[in-house]
Amino acid sequence: MIKILGGVARGFPLSTPRADSTRPTSVMIKRKLFDWRQNLYGYQFIDLCAGSGAMGFEALSRGADKIAVNDSQRGAFLTLKQNQEQLLKSFKFDSAAIVVTNSDAKNWVNKELKYQFPETKDVILYLDPPYVEHKIYFELIEALKNANFQGEVWLESDRLLGPKLDELTGVFKTIIKTVETGDHFVLVGNLI
């Protein structure tokens, strides 16, 4: 079971997709990132490969003005909708503050980003595709650069299965922070 770690929905349990096709971000990584960036008032948050939506819903709990949680897999999308409904039922979040979509991540960047988030300066985008799909990391980063994405990108990978730290470091214009736990790491930075 995954729980929200902080903010107004602290301790709230989130459903997870039934299939093994998604992998939740580790509690340690999530805790380190959100302990570093505790207050998200004034920010908007996007998770393109959201699974249960734990990262996006954590951001919402910590004050993000708007979140978008997306997953291309149907089971994950249904879980996102379920978690959205339960959060809206339990807390006074504005339903317009939660956008749930079922799209290929690259298509989402190309079609939805400008529509949902016309200004990206105060947007955090969490990118955690399946580690073994190296190509998608670089395709999504290229799509974000082409879309002139100005916000922060939080990019998760794994030293054993995913693109390596030095490969991913090179795609950023600026690295703000690196969070590491075991073989997992998240690079926080700006692409342009």
Which pLDDT score is estimated for 24? 75
Cα Rg, the chain, nearest whole Å = 15
Tell me the two tokens of residue 60.
């919402």
Which pLDDT score is estimated for 22? 67
Q: Which residue range is the domain that position 126 belongs to?
A: 2-190
Choose among 1, 23, 26: nearest CA to 12. Answer: 1
Which pLDDT score is estimated for 34? 96
User: How many Å apart are CA 136 and CA 117, to the nearest integer?
Assistant: 22
Alpha-helix residue ranges (DSSP H) falling in 37-73? 54-61
Choose among 191, 184, 192: nearest CA to 33. Answer: 184
Which pLDDT score is estimated for 1? 79
What pairs with residue 92 in β-bridges? Answer: none
CATH number of the domain that 93 lies in? 3.40.50.150
Which pLDDT score is estimated for 25? 85
Q: How many distinct structural domains can be found in the chain?
A: 1
Which pLDDT score is estimated for 38? 87
Contact 66/42 with Cβ under 8 angstroms?
no
Choose among 26, 1, 22, 19: nearest CA to 11. Answer: 1
By three-state DSSP, how is residue 43 classified?
coil
Per-residue pLDDT 10s for the chain (192 aa) are 799 999 999 999 999 987 655 677 888 999 999 999 989 999 999 999 999 999 999 999 999 999 999 999 999 999 999 999 999 999 999 999 999 999 999 999 999 999 999 999 999 999 999 999 999 999 999 999 999 999 999 999 999 999 999 999 999 999 999 999 999 999 999 998
CB atoms < 10 A from the CB of 26, how many?
Answer: 14
